[in-house]
């Protein structure tokens, strides 16, 4: 196969794989910004199990594999000439077609950088290794590429979240409140609220009944005064009755949606002081969490697939370069 024809084939595969990765990323709806904002956590988890996400992982692995194969089967210069320009064009096309947000621009730049690092690493390992060249070189090179993309993901997430700290902390607060509300059933909350109201009223009554002034009133023989004293004492006893608690519980249940507003993030922070630290460094925690998730997926799924595709390509093209 002539050099130009080979370059065209490698370029076409690189272009299509990168474009496919961009398409599947857009189709899956997965965005670091959404994950950082804790928007629809359950739906986001479902997206990780979707066919679109699987297509994304496979497409990235193919892009890595074609870069590995171009370097190991041909040369470093050939890989740079055939793979990088085609990948860059595919990324530009995807940005024009699917939108060019800050996160996508960051990832596009770091993806090209990752491919360049992959080619450099594969070239060095090709010269150093004597056995199992394709397996070992492509594995090491793909891991380096995953690391570069992870750095880009960390940088983009940290930058976006830090630049919009108030917006993201508000979403975080809402998510914490939602979780706190979901941990208890409606009945449990109503029961607790009714008990709290009764306890508050009893404390207020006791604070009045135990005063010297009230005790002096008990000694009075005036009918109106005694009626008031008996009313207060009776009310104190009545608050212990199950009927009062059930009545208050029914009122709380009836206005449950309004009672949700009583649970504020400040109240939760008093119970869990660590939440204030989380809120202050939310940009860093979000970036580390999302980057760690990508590193896990990259090393457990993308890299093994890239190695597998590289080996299959080496077997299909012949023994040269396989070690």
Residue 280 to residues 172, 286, 289: CA-CA distances in angstroms? 11, 11, 15
d(CA 82, CA 13): 10
pLDDT given for residue 323 in this prediction: 39
Looking at residue 192, what is its pLDDT? 72
Extract the residue ranges of the chain whose pLDDT is less than 70. Answer: 1, 37-44, 176-190, 193, 225, 236, 252-272, 319-323
What is the rounded distance in angstroms from the CA atom of residue 318 to the CA atom of residue 323? 11
Q: What is the pLDDT of residue 272?
A: 66
| DSSP codes of every residue in 220-270 | ---HHHHHHHHHHHHHHHHTTSHHHHHHHHHHHHHTHHHHGGG--HHHHHH
What is the rounded CA–CA span in Å between residue 304 and residue 172? Answer: 35
Backbone angles phi and psi of 93, in degrees to 5? -60, -45
Kindly report the pTM of this predicted structure: 0.72
Neighbours of 151 (CB within 10 A): 14
The 3-state DSSP class for residue 185 equals coil
Torsion angle of C-alpha atoms 74, 78, 82, 87, degrees rounded to 10: 100
Contact 310, 65 (CB under 8 A): yes
Per-residue confidence (pLDDT) for residue 320, from 0 to 100: 46
What was the pLDDT predicted at 292? Answer: 94
Q: pLDDT (tens digit, 9 = 90+) per residue, 219-240?
A: 777 777 677 777 777 776 777 7
Under 8 Å CB-to-CB from 8, ≥6 apart: which residues? Answer: none
């Amino acid at each position: 196969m002539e050099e130009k024809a080979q370059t065209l084939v490698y370029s076409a595969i690189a272009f299509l794989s990168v474009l496919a990765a961009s398409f599947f990323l857009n189709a899956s709806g997965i965005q670091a910004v959404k994950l950082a904002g804790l928007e629809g956590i359950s739906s986001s988890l479902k997206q990780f199990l979707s066919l679109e996400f699987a297509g994304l992982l496979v497409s990235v692995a193919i892009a890595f594999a074609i870069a590995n194969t171009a370097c190991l089967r041909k040369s470093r210069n050939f890989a740079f000439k055939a793979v990088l320009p085609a990948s860059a064009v595919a990324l530009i096309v995807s940005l024009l077609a699917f939108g060019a947000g800050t996160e996508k621009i960051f990832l596009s730049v770091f993806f090209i950088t990752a491919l360049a690092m992959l080619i450099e690493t594969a070239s060095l390992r090709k010269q150093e290794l004597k056995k199992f060249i394709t397996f070992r070189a492509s594995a090491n090179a793909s891991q380096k590429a995953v690391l570069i993309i992870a750095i880009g993901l960390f940088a983009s997430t940290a930058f976006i979240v830090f630049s919009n700290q108030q917006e993201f902390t508000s979403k975080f607060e809402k998510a914490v409140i939602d979780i706190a509300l979901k941990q208890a059933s409606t009945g449990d909350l109503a029961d607790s609220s009714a008990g709290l109201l009764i306890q508050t009223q009893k404390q207020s009554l006791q604070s009045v009944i135990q005063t010297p002034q009230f005790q002096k009133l008990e000694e009075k023989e005036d009918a109106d005064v005694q009626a008031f004293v008996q009313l207060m004492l009776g009310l104190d006893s009545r608050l212990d009755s199950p009927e009062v608690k059930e009545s208050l519980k029914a009122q709380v249940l009836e206005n449950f949606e309004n009672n949700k507003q009583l649970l504020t993030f400040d109240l939760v922070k008093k119970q869990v002081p660590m939440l204030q630290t989380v809120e202050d460094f939310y940009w860093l925690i979000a970036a580390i969490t999302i980057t760690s998730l990508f590193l896990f997926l990259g090393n457990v799924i993308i890299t093994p697939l890239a190695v597998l595709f590289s080996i299959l390509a080496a077997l299909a093209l012949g023994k040269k370069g396989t070690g």
